[in-house]
Structures are given as C-alpha cells and as structure tokens.
Chains A and B, each alone.
Chain A
Amino acid sequence: MADQAPKPSAAPDRSYKRSWKNLLINKRYQLRFTLFMVGIAMLLMTGLGYRVMTKAIEATTVSKTHVLGEVCPTISLLTEDVPPPVVPMKLDEPAPDPAAPAKAADAPKPDAKPDAKADAKPDDKPDDKDPPRHVKVQLDESSLTLTPTVPVWTPPLATTFVDEIAAHWKCQISQEHQLYMLDLGRLRILLVLIGSGLLLVFGLAIYGIKMTHKVAGPLFKVGLYFTKMQHGKLDKVYNLRKGDQLVDFYEHFKTAHAGVVQLEKDDIVRLKAVIAAAEAAGQGEHAAVSELRDMLARKEKALE
C-alpha cells in the first residue's frame, strides 16, 4: 500500500512540448493549407519537369546526331580494293608486228576528220582522279602471253596498320561512350527531377503540417479554455508554447478572460457586501439571502 501511495506532488509542469502524435489538431485547416502548398509544388514540378525532359530529349538527340556525324578514321587495308589474282591470257592468233599497228595508230590518216580524241593534245595526260583509260599489259614475246600489269602492292608496315586499327576503334569506342554519356545525362536529369519532386512533396507535407500546427495549436488551446468557460470554470490562463503563432490573438483572449473574471469578481464583492449587510440586519436566514449565498459560492468556485 505504501508503495502505491502517490508521490508528493511537485508543481504542475505546464510546458507542453510538441509531439509528432498530435501534429494534426485541426485537420480541415491544416490539411487544406498543406495540401494546397504540396499541390502547387507538384503541379509546377510535373509541368515544368515534363518540359525539361522534352528539351533534354531534344538536346540529347541533337548531340547524338553530332557525335554520329563525326566519321572515324578507316583502316586502309580493309577498305581499299584487294588486287585481283593475276590470270595470264594467251592470245589465240599471232599478232602482227607490234610496231606496225602502233605506228599506224600514231600516224593520223590524211582524210580523217578531226574528232574529239584527235583534238586532244599529245601531252594531255589523264587526270589523276580519273580512272585509268586503258589496261596496261605485259607481252611475253617468247610465249606470246599477255599478262596484265599489276601495280606492285606492298603490304603496309605493321606499325601503321596497328595505329590505324587503334585509331579506328578508339574513335568508335569514344563515340559509343559519348552516346552512352548523353543517355546517362538525360536519365540523370529524369532521376534528379523525380527525386527532388518526391523530396519536395514529403518535405513540404511535413513542413506544412508543422507550420499550420503553430496556428492550430493556439486555436486548440483557446478552444479548451472556451469549453471551460462554457462550463463556468474560469481558472488561470497559461502562456503559449515557444514558437507558437497567433500570439496577439492569444493576448486578446487573455484580456477577454480577465474581463469575464473581473465581472465575476465584481459580483462577488457586491454579493458579499449585501449578504453581510443582510446578516447584520437580521435577514441572514432569508431565502433570498440563501440564494445569494449559493450564487456567491458558485462564483467563487468558478475562479478557483
């Protein structure tokens, strides 16, 4: 029994602290303001975020086109024409003296009309860029065999070949990397937008509820005093918590409460005086005085 005896009561601690459990006091007011704030932020983030992504996709497409437009160096061995295999050709008939037709061809005919080929100057050489006009052949006189003259193909030096391959693939890999980085950059923008949007929404929701709680808190406290006053209880009014808003409003309430208390006190003073005078005049047992006494007791209790 002794263990269950209440401890000596200390002075009542009136400093209530904010707790997460009772942050939503006035749901209608708090949620309305918080949701408005969150809604605006979400609307802006979604609308502008969509536009950012549209522009980011455009920019990425343009940049990809730019990257793909840069031609990588080619590997000459793989891209140049491979020389055809040498196929000797044997003539069916013995050719006349090669010098005679050559001379006949060189000598212009007297009655021949000048044509385009004849107009050509003898020193005209085919342009380097033009393809060769005639196939060059070698004649083996002993066997009368024509063999096409093949340009001597020298294999590229090993170092040049390796360098070309390295340069080609370095460029290819660099392009692939650039394309990957461009896609990654776009993806990063999307993720940053989504992340910051979610963070903003949650952060704003918490901040909004905390901010409105600083208004709803004093209103809740005043509401409690209203209930007490409604039931005829006019006890002491305590101060607001630190950081609460509506400080001026609360001060107004305190003066109102003090005003009502003063009305009751005035009544008490008057009633006490009348009761005392009535008792002195021998009217103490009068029913009206008893009623006044009851009223006095009630008013005094209200101020406790």
Chain B
Amino acid sequence: MPAAPSAPVPAPSARPPRLPRRLRRPLLTALILGALIVVSAHLCQVRLDDLPGNLAKGFEVLRFFFPPDWSSLRELAGPALVTLLLAALATPLGVILSLFFGLAGARNLAPNWLRTISRTLIGVERALPEIIVLLLLVAALGVGPFPGVIALAIGSVGMLGKLFADAIEEVDPKVLESVACVGATRWQVIRHAVLPEVMPAFLANAIFRFEVNIRASVLLGAVGAGGIGLELSKAMSLLEYERAMMAVLVTLLLVFGAERISDFLRAKVMDGGRLA
C-alpha cells in the first residue's frame, strides 16, 4: 500500500489514493459476503427454481391446519401442564445449581482453582445445546420428565451461572471488607453483603430464564421429555393437522402466558429491590 502524501491542509477530494481505499473495504466485504452466501446456499441445498412451487404447496398445506380441532383442547390441557411444570421445576433447580456455580466461579470469593473449574464447566454447558444433554439422558435413563427437567436445569446453569458469577465479581470489594471488619465470617459476608447486592438482578434473570425454559421444554418434549411438544410432533406424523394446529395454539397461549407471568414477577422483584 503506497503511503498517501501527507498534506498539511486536509483536502480529501484532491488526494487520488483516497477513493479506491474508501471503496476497497465495502467491496471486499461484499465479495466475502457474496462468496459466503453462495457456498452456504449450496450447502443448504437452496433451490430457488422450486421455491414458488414449494411455497404454493406450503400455503396449500396450511389449509389443512384450519379449522383447529377445538375438541382436542381438553386432551391437550394435560400435556400443556406437563410442559409448564417441566420448565417450572427446572428453573428453580437451575437457579440453585447456578448459585453454587456462581459462588465458586467468582474471583473475589473462590480460590483460583475452584474458579477455573467452575468457569470451565459453565463454558461447556453454554456451548452444549439442551437437546444434546437430553438425548444423552434419555439414552441412559429412558423417556420421562426426569431427563427433561435435568437437561433444562443444566441448560439454565450455563446462562445463569455465568451472569451470577459476573455479578458477584462486580460487587464493590470495599463493601465486603467493611462487613468483614465487623468480625463476620466469610459465609456471613456472602449472606449479608454479596447476596443482597446481586440477588434482585439475578432473580430477574432467573425469571427471564423461566420464559426461555418454557420454549425449550416444548422443543425437548418432542424428543422424549413429554408434554405439548410430543403431542404436536405425534399429531404431525399422524397427519392430524387440525389437532396439530390446536397444539400450536396451546403452545402460543403457554408462551404468552409465561411471558406475562414473568413480566409480573420481574417487576415485583425489581420493585422490591431488596431481599434482606
């Protein structure tokens, strides 16, 4: 790259090397992006020529889904409750686990070796989609709510454990020092200084995680955790589309409901602001 002659007075239009340089970067970006798109499209087996036909077919298929089979609502209530309970059980379990991982993963509370172990485990959990944990657990323990709850709980630790550990590390060390100066033990410092400072934000995140877990538990249901996800995939494979549509509607209701509940709880936690 030839160095542009440095002019003491800035005169952008009078400097010839400037224009190609300005263009080079967007051009390069576009080129790389284009190449990536072409390669990806090839890998994804995108066939644009079939697209209109397929889309038409898709809309045709959508017709089968209507009207939803309202009579199945009663049968679907049970599975919907199972999905809800899976998430409701997994979230507190995940919260408790992340409390331990968070405390062990915070620089200001845990020794270095413990922190490294905890942080590594959290990192691995974050990189491992819940569904894989579930598949493994199902392979070992068989189908049922237990693998589902454990998979969701472990998935929650990946997110909540990290947030909790990071939040603890941000607590002002002087505050901890001042409580220790009263003669408090390390665990008392945790109980009376660390937890009050980080709990509200942590609980807000946990409640948000409940929302995520509801979605995930629908997804996991189809692989063996049971619930509405299983009903949905069963109905699809039996070509009972009206019933499947009903299951979709129930899922929507569940997710929207969870969102409302979690908004309400979050507002309450943040409003309290203190948990003593």
Partners in one complex: no
Chain B residues in the interface with A (C-beta under 8 A)? none
Chain A residues in the interface with B (C-beta under 8 A)? none
